[in-house]
Amino acid sequence: MFPKIGQYDPKLGRVRTDSDDFYDHRKLVLEKIQEAMRREKEGKRK
C-alpha cells in the first residue's frame, strides 16, 4: 500500500506527512461517494 508517515514516498518525491494520509483518505472516500451516486443515478434511469 502506501509508505508509512516519515518514510520516503517515491510518488510524492518526499517523505510522507500526516496531511498526506489525510488527503489520501479523503480522496478514497470521495471516490466511493461518487461511485455510489453514479450507481443510484443509473438505477433511476431504468
Task: Examine residue 13 and state whether it is found in any structural domain, yes or no.
Answer: yes
Q: Going by C-beta distance under 8 Å and a sequence separation of 6 or more, which residues neighbour residue 18?
A: 5
Around Cβ 17, how many Cβ atoms within 10 Å?
A: 13
Task: Examine residue 1 and state whether it is found in any structural domain, yes or no.
Answer: no
pLDDT confidence band for 46 (50 / 70 / 90)? low
Task: Examine residue 37 and state whether it is found in any structural domain, yes or no.
Answer: yes
pLDDT confidence band for 30 (50 / 70 / 90)? very high
For the CA atoms of 19, 20, 24, 27, what is the dihedral angle to 10 degrees? 60
**Once rounded to an integer, what is the mean pLDDT over residues 24-31?**
92
State the alpha helices, DSSP H only, in the chain.
18-45
- Find out whether 8 and 15 touch, Cβ atoms under 8 Å: yes
The per-residue pLDDT for 1 is 62
Domain region containing 34:
8-45
Percent of the chain with pLDDT over 70: 91
The per-residue pLDDT for range 15-27, each reduced to its tens digit, is 999 888 888 889 9
**Global pTM value:** 0.60
Count of domains for the chain: 1
